[in-house]
Structure 1
Amino acid sequence: MKILMGLDYGARTVGVAVSDPFGWTAQGVRTIHMDENKEIFGLDEVQEMIKKFHVQGFVLGLPLNMNGTAGPRVDACKKYGDMLKKRFHLPVDYQDERLTTVQGERMMIEGADVSRRKRRKVIDTVAAELILQTYLDRKGPLTKLDSKK
């Protein structure tokens, strides 16, 4: 099994999660602050986490519209995926992320009663965790690759 990094890519932040070595669970790690408009994508921070966690592949949340069609954020996400492939030479796959932010918000409100201010600080990380956990649960293609590469 490979250790995978889940990413919730947005215009100003990227939520980050990693899998355990067995591919059973996803753990939220942090939120990277970036600025898509200034072409600051947080890739140096991603590189640090690749080394720290021995990441061997990426799972990006794909922000499809509710009807399943692709909008402009899908294009931006795929461009980010291409940047990751080019810079780190690691495989990238995509996971439908519809409603992950809503689901994360609901979990923090109902389960932990987290204040709105605190939710804003961690929602991208929670969304990345949900994206990666969904991918692991459905046994996405990257979960089947041998980690002895």
Structure 2
Amino acid sequence: MTSNPAERLPPGRPALLLLTLGRIVREEVERALEAQGLSLRLLSALGHLSREPGLSYSALGRRAGVTAQSMQATVRQLEQAGAVRRVTPAGRGRTAELRVTDTGRQLLRELDHALGSVETPLLDGLTAEEQASLGALLHRLLAKNLRADAPGSS
């Protein structure tokens, strides 16, 4: 067994490298959010609603890759925190139109700070140009591989 972590890296296949790095990043982000009493699911719902105000539970669930019922529980937490409000009357069979509040926007800023606390050490050692190139390449790959109807596609 080697003590050099670089020697334990997976082969140079991009998919394997992305999977491994994705796991590491996810764990670090979850740890940073947990410290603030938050979760990736809350971050995801709030982020989607901030980019697309008025989404329903179903649409929000599709984007996050969860059921509408599961998303209702997530949104309920956000509503209780004052981060999201429903602008349509409640009732069985009615489509909920959800909006991010000022409190929600402040929470998004805090979440962005938590993401930055993970990103900074992750990218340490890369030049500003390399970081920009990496971001552009990842964005391009993500845009190419997301389908409009796929979970998490917006």
Given the two structures, how large is their TM-score scaled by the length of structure 1? 0.28
Of the two, which has the highest radius of gyration?
A: 2
Higher helix share: 2
Higher strand share: 1
Q: Identify which of structures 1 and 2 has the higher relative contact order when contacts are C-alpha pairs closer than 8 Å and 6+ apart.
A: 1
